Amino acid sequence: MTNHNLRRVQNIHRQILSVTREDREKLNGHKGKVIWFTGLSGSGKSTLANALELELHAKNYRTYILDGDNLRHGLSRDLGFTDIDRAENIRRIAEVAKLMMDAGLTVLTAFISPFRRERQMAKELIGNDRFVEVYVSTTLEVCEKRDVKGLYKKARAGQLLNFSGVGSPYEVPVEATLEIDTAHINLNLALELLLDIIK
């Protein structure tokens, strides 16, 4: 039997922490940042994030990759692929990325994140000076030819609903920090461009 509702918004308060983000960044030797890769499935987001993490790790950066497929196995396994669920997935990722950035890490996220509204929410939460949006602009045609996971084939056959680029829209970023088309820019050049932005 429920006697009253738990009014969470009124009954929670921020705990002041003694060790600050600046303290952690000093220990790490670099500032915390979020590199937010967005683009269609098969565009090269995860490949770029992984290659960039290897480069940063070699330069003694403290890093972590938040990858769309990996987080669907845990943090977001209760979510589907409706527009509402996708928005909630991105909200969760943004909150986790912010916490990791506050720990002084360079966080790389690789998500389709198809809607501008959610990407803007992530940017505002994390902060303009800490958020780097990388639009992996590889075309639908190229991504569909790659079809590394067989998802486009399923979507075209009607077996996969709400798939970005086929059954659900992908909203192209208006002001991405960097745009990379993996069909025309090789990995080495892409890494140079990414490292320049992080430095």
- 70: domain CATH number is 3.40.50.300
Q: At what angle do helices 21-28 and 83-102 cross, to 10 degrees?
A: 70
Residue 113 catalytic?
Answer: yes
Residues annotated in a binding site for ATP:
39-46
The pLDDT tens digits of the residues spanning 121-144 come to 999 999 999 999 999 999 999 999
The domain in which residue 75 lies consists of: 27-198
Res. 67: pLDDT tops 90:
no
* Residue 112 burial (10 A CB sphere; 0-12, 13-18, 19+): buried
Q: Are 109 and 66 in contact (CB under 8 A)?
A: yes
Q: Is residue 18 part of a domain?
A: no
Which residue matches tokens 């500032």? Answer: 31
| CA neighbor of 29 nearest in space, from 63, 61, 55 | 61
Q: Are 106 and 32 in contact (CB under 8 A)?
A: yes
- Residue 138 is predicted with a pLDDT of 94
Q: Is residue 186 part of a domain?
A: yes
Can you tell me the mean pLDDT for 108-124?
Answer: 93
**4-8, 16-20, 86-90, 181-185 — which one is most confidently predicted on average?**
181-185
Can you tell me the mean pLDDT for 79-105?
Answer: 88
Q: Tokens for 46?
A: 């995860």
Residues annotated in a binding site:
39-46
Question: How much of the chain, in percent, has pLDDT values that exceed 90?
Answer: 54
Res. 1: pLDDT tops 70:
no
Total domains present in the chain? 1
Q: Is residue 7 part of a domain?
A: no
pLDDT band at 152 (very low <50, low <70, confident <90, very high): confident
Q: Is residue 14 part of a domain?
A: no
**Could you say which of 76, 113, 137, 164 is catalytic?**
113
pTM (two decimals): 0.86
Q: Is residue 133 part of a domain?
A: yes
